Amino acid sequence: MIYTAAENRYQTMEYVRCGSSGLKLPALSLGFWHNFGIHNDYGVMKQLCFTAFDNGITHFDLANNYGPEYGRAEQNFGQIFKEAFRPYRDELLISTKAGYDMWDGPYGNWGSRKYLLSSLDQSLTRMGLDYVDIFYHHRMDPQTPLEETMGALDQAVKSGKALYAGISNYDGPTMQKASAILRDLHCPFVINQNRYSILDRTIEENGLKQTACTDGKGIIAFSPLAQGLLTDKYLHGIPKDSRIAKDGRYLHKEALSEETLRKIQALNHLAAQRGETLAQMALSWVLKDAQITSVLIGASRPEQILENLKILGHCEFSEEELKEIDRITA
């Protein structure tokens, strides 16, 4: 059966300008960090992508080592793209990253020119694409000169293999230095990708949020639900089918301390008073101000995407609600 996108897919989604650039991102973007690996059902993966795009989520976010196994998410997306999305390529915003461990030896990690450009070529092959819309360096590298790493991003753009450059997991001061280098190279650096949630406000503490705004760069937030803590899944402890119980690599049991449990229970009570689920309130909180361009959502079922979409147009908070959230999480 040939996939045909919904005709009304652009009617309800909000599109936000990425910093001072001409690029717009949907308020919600689909992340491929989890649920697109070797252990996931391919039919469900397709339905996740179809549900997202049918509702105006035009941005699909990947990385070279998303899986498991490394490269598997890109490979699976490449097959979905070949089967269903090729006619819609110009309507899609596809991003990938390199910076974490990917292959054996000294050239398969961090931020060298050799690693980044080789990884991008591999990513394009896995996805069956001629170019990606955004290519990110995935994390700061304390050993490679920043000029080399940024020069590789610039080369990726000038070669036509990426349209825009981005950085991920950078702090404010390093982002400012990277931005200056890319500005001198006339490279379209437009976006930062960082962890941000009610429970994790590191980008406020390390200056990234304010620096990006001052510099005219966008911010896309990942883990807005704190790896599932800001949902109803953990309100009564750790379920047997949860990510903590089954995996524990990205979310450890220690993360759900008694103090954290009390916080999410209190936040859930506030969300109920707002007529929302805890997850919906957590997403709305991230999107409440203009400094955030988009928020990355993950999903294991299409219904989760549809639930998240209900926040569109309802991301306002009263001063009392914001103060209460700060009090709960202090």
What tens digit of pLDDT does each residue of 209-257 get? 999 999 999 999 999 999 999 999 888 777 666 666 556 565 666 777 8
CA pair distance 47, 88, nearest whole angstrom: 16
**pLDDT band at 1, cuts 50/70/90?**
confident
CA distances from 147 to 151, 181, 184, 216 (A): 6, 7, 11, 21
Q: Does the reported pTM lie above 0.85?
A: yes
> Does residue 168 surpass a pLDDT of 80?
yes
Sequence-ordered list of residues with C-beta below 8 angstroms from that of 311, at least 6 positions apart, any chain: 276, 280, 283, 284, 287
Could you check whether the bond before residue 69 is cis, i.e. omega within 30 degrees of 0? yes
Query: For residues 65-90, b (16+ Cβ closer than 10 Å) or e, as one string?
Result: bbbeebbbbbbbbbbbbeebbeeeee
What tens digit of pLDDT does each residue of 83-93 get? 999 999 999 99
Mean pLDDT to the nearest integer, 160-179: 98
Provide the residue count of the chain: 330
Mean pLDDT to the nearest integer, 291-304: 97
Query: Per DSSP, what are the bridge partners of residue 15?
Result: 26
**pLDDT more than 70, % of the chain:** 95
Query: Per DSSP, what are the bridge partners of residue 135?
Result: 96, 165
Sequence-ordered list of residues with C-beta below 8 angstroms from that of 139, at least 6 positions apart, any chain: 99, 100, 111, 168, 169, 170
- Burial class from Cβ neighbours inside 10 Å (0-12, 13-18, 19+) for residue 63 reads buried
SS (H, E, C) 52-121: HHHCCCCEEECCCCCCCCCCHHHHHHHHHHHHHHHHHHHHCEEEEEECCCCCCCCCCCCCCHHHHHHHHH
> Does residue 7 surpass a pLDDT of 80?
yes
CB of 286 closer than 8 Å to CB of 279: no
pLDDT of residue 241: 63
CA 19 to chain centroid:
16
Token pair 């697109």: residue:
36
CA pair distance 75, 64, nearest whole angstrom: 10
Mean pLDDT to the nearest integer, 130-151: 98
CA pair distance 217, 125, nearest whole angstrom: 29
CA pair distance 306, 309, nearest whole angstrom: 5
Q: For the chain, what is the mean pLDDT?
A: 95
pLDDT of residue 250: 59
CA pair distance 116, 7, nearest whole angstrom: 38
- Domain ranges in the chain are 15-229+286-314
The fold of 15-229+286-314 is TIM Barrel (3.20.20)
pLDDT of residue 246: 59
> Does residue 310 surpass a pLDDT of 80?
yes
pLDDT of residue 65: 98
What tens digit of pLDDT does each residue of 43-90 get? 999 999 999 999 999 999 999 999 999 999 999 999 999 999 999 999
- Two tokens, residue 158: 């000038």
pLDDT of residue 252: 62
